[in-house]
Structure 1
Amino acid sequence: MALFLMAIVACVGTGAAAQTSPDLSLPADLSTKEISIGIKAAPPFAFKLQDGTWSGLSIDLWQKIAGRLKLRFRYVEVPTVQDQIDGVVSGKFDAAMAAITVTADREKAVDFTQPFFTTGLGIATPLNNQPSWRPVMRALTSFGFLQAVLALIVISVVVGVLIWMFERRHNDDFGGGVAKGLFSSMWWSTIAATQASTGDFGPRIVPGRVLAALWMMGSIIVIAVFTAGVTSVLTVTQMEGMVQGESDLAAVRVGAVQNSSTASYLDSTQIRHQDFATIQQGLDALRAGKVDALVHDKPLLGWLVGQNYATSLQVLDATFDQQQYAIALPLGSKLRKPLDVTLLQTMESDWWKQAVFQYLGEK
């Protein structure tokens, strides 16, 4: 009897284990087939070595997954992410990967695995080694600068009107009709604000002179604060450059890779941009001064700038518009479930942490 009960318990346990650990073996048609993987250069996630073999963070991850699932595969190189998506949709590729961003539009056309990397957009700008008149002009035409100038003008006009009201009946300098009197009083107010000599031209009665004294003393403070503010803006802008974050993109010349998720984001935020066929063309244009900022996936920007443009360009610390990279699959692909589970298992391992640190320096 005891042996019979033990046998029942063993069977139940085996059934439960089978339910919690689903069979992730590949279907027969995939286990014997050499599947095609659409790949594009996207260092440090995917790049070719001198011997023609592929390397990179995504490549290492895929080969780790393929090894666990005993997948036979071959890479098929294409020039753009859109070519990868189109290849998956048409059935040319059984999967596509490198640095493919998951977007709503792409999700309509293909299936994605679990994301394996979370990042965002970054901004590359020129190193500010050489002085430039463009930051100065931008500061002088900024809304804050115009506000300060307008405030100074308004105060000067108000003082001029008050002087005219006090002096028009007692001082011929401010008499002779409304238009002539107001013009003279405002002219005096402007001269007084700049601390220039007005000679004998000025208020003569007590209220007018009191207001004039207050205005001349106050104008010293107003102009000093105004000058300090303008100098600070010009100095900071010249030191830090025209672009310090996403909010500055609307006022500068922006570059992006055509037909990319970055270009779509810039369009959705109504930021005008010049499109380039490749990220390298965009970086060359940035270095040549044809654009003021280049927006792209931050890890890719950081890698390329560090490798080839370190003396002329920089990637800002700012990150925006969070994005996720995943493997693209045909709709309803039988690979999805095995890839998802194996992908998550791999990402939970110490191997993945070491791989990310190796390529990106991130822990």
Structure 2
Amino acid sequence: MKRLSWGLAPTLALVLAIALPGAAAAAPVLRVGLVDGSPPCSYREAGVWRGLAVDLWNRVATLEEIPYVVSQWPSVRQMLEASREGKVDVAVGCINVSPDRLERYRFSLPFQEDGLAVMVVKSRLDLGRSFLSALLTPTLLQLLGSYLLAIAVLTGITLRLEVRHHPATDGRRNSLRHVSKVFQVLATGPGSNTIVTTTRGNGVVILAYLVRIVSASLLVGYLTVNVAGEVQGRASGDIRSPADLRGRRVGVRSGTVSESLLKELNTTSTGPKATIVPLASIGEGGALQAERRIDALLGDNLQLSYLLLQEEAMGFLPSLALEGIRPESQAFAYAPALPEATANRIDQAISALKRSGVVSELRQQATTRGNPQAR
């Protein structure tokens, strides 16, 4: 019996040698972390995860046949710490690869680059006041005054040239009514045949026409360039640089590079500090701005651009006062223990999707889709 057992041993070893490689080849299930409330990168809508980063990861997992399970985390910082501690294999999102994060965490191949932006909200009444203030400037008054002065000079020349052909009747020649009529015709155009009959008089009328054309062009150019720019500047709340956020109530998501920027500004400033208002989601920041509970909203350029496309709060007009602040690469984050072979497969899939234009297409779709119903 013992001889029979020892005789079966090589056969059993051969069977195990064939079966074990197949079992070892089974792909492990990756633990994927996501953060809600960051549209258009990652958010939940009707219980389903959506967003640019989510769609990109789904394509990568499908392309490389990677099974995975999803877990939700309160903030990007906590999700990154979970990946560093091995609680999450892949942290999925539009995660900024900042210098301090690069020293602490392990990242995938970057799939896009984005900076920070500042969004402010003004009411239509505020914009109307800004427009009126921009109109009442010395430059515009000088343009209007120069035009009226030129027409007044041409009016005097016309009266002098036509004095012989329009003799005074009942003392009306030099009356204010006659002068105002000539001034009105030269300023507006219609009715010139009623005030001049001489060749020289017609020449003055043509000259007045040229003055009107040139003056109108100058006024339109000034209103288009200067006044529109001034209104936009006033609508932005005089925020010209990140340093102007000091002394204001600024909404940011906790654990983001936006919060780090505000803390850095407060640390390096000896004057007023920015009041950091933590937000559960980017959409909450828009609501707080409409209620005048915060003065500005700081976040990723892509996220705030997406927020601008959503339904505006009634009576308020949002705009981006600053864009492209500290542009950085964005990527996924890996756990230190994630096998190098698996990380390489994910990186190669990201590279292939970038090269084929899929990432650009996902970014375009993310900024044109409809309103998410849940944040």
TM-score range, shorter chain: 0.5 to 0.7
Q: Deviations over 1:51-88 (max 9, x none)?
A: x2222211111111111211001111122112211221
Could you tell me how far apart the structure 1 residues matched to 2:253 and 2:275 are?
Answer: 10
Q: Deviations over 1:106-144 (max 9, x none)?
A: 223320011112111111111341239x99xxxxxxxxx
- Unaligned regions of 5+ residues in structure 1, if any? 1-26, 136-231
Could you tell me how far apart the structure 2 residues matched to 1:28 and 1:324 are?
Answer: 38
Q: Look up the equivalent residue of 1:254 and give its one-letter code.
A: V
State how 1:310-325 maps to structure 2 within 5 Å. 311=314, 312-316=316-320, 318-325=323-330
Which residue pairs with 2:300 in the alignment? 297
Measured at CA, do residues 306 and 30 of structure 1 come closer, stay the same or move farther in structure 2, by a change above 3 Å? farther
Which residue pairs with 1:226 in the alignment? none
SS state at 1:318 partner: strand
Measured at CA, do residues 290 and 348 of structure 1 come closer, stay the same or move farther in structure 2, by a change above 3 Å? same
**1:47 and 2:43 are equivalent in the alignment:** yes
Could you tell me how far apart the structure 2 residues matched to 1:94 and 1:242 are?
Answer: 43
Which residue pairs with 2:364 in the alignment? 357
- CA RMSD between the two structures: 3.4
SS state at 1:45 partner: coil
Q: Look up the equivalent residue of 2:241 and give its one-letter code.
A: E
Residue pair 1:38, 1:76 contacting (<8 A) in 2 also: yes
What is the Cα deviation at residue 349 of structure 1?
0.5
Q: Look up the equivalent residue of 2:274 and give its one-letter code.
A: R
Q: Look up the equivalent residue of 2:96 and give its one-letter code.
A: T
Measured at CA, do residues 241 and 347 of structure 1 come closer, stay the same or move farther in structure 2, by a change above 3 Å? closer
Residue pair 1:301, 1:315 contacting (<8 A) in 2 also: no
What is the Cα deviation at residue 276 of structure 1?
1.2
Residue pair 1:109, 1:331 contacting (<8 A) in 2 also: no
Residue pair 2:122, 2:235 contacting (<8 A) in 1 also: no
Which residue pairs with 1:329 in the alignment? 334
Could you tell me how far apart the structure 1 residues matched to 2:287 and 2:255 are?
Answer: 19
Identity of aligned residues (%): 22
Residue pair 2:309, 2:367 contacting (<8 A) in 1 also: no
**1:100 and 2:104 are equivalent in the alignment:** no
Could you tell me how far apart the structure 2 residues matched to 1:103 and 1:66 are?
Answer: 26
- Unaligned regions of 5+ residues in structure 2, if any? 1-21, 131-226, 267-272, 370-375
**1:259 and 2:255 are equivalent in the alignment:** yes
- Counterpart selection for 1:71 from 66, 77, 86: 66
**Relative contact order, higher structure (CA 8 A, sep 6+):** 2
Residue pair 1:47, 1:54 contacting (<8 A) in 2 also: yes
Could you tell me how far apart the structure 1 residues matched to 2:121 and 2:65 are?
Answer: 46
What is the Cα deviation at residue 338 of structure 1?
1.7
Which residue pairs with 1:249 in the alignment? 245
Could you tell me how far apart the structure 2 residues matched to 1:244 and 1:315 are?
Answer: 12
State how 1:140-155 maps to structure 2 within 5 Å. none
Could you tell me how far apart the structure 2 residues matched to 1:82 and 1:29 are?
Answer: 34
TM-score, normalized by length of structure 2? 0.56
Residue pair 1:124, 1:313 contacting (<8 A) in 2 also: no
TM-score, normalized by length of structure 1? 0.58
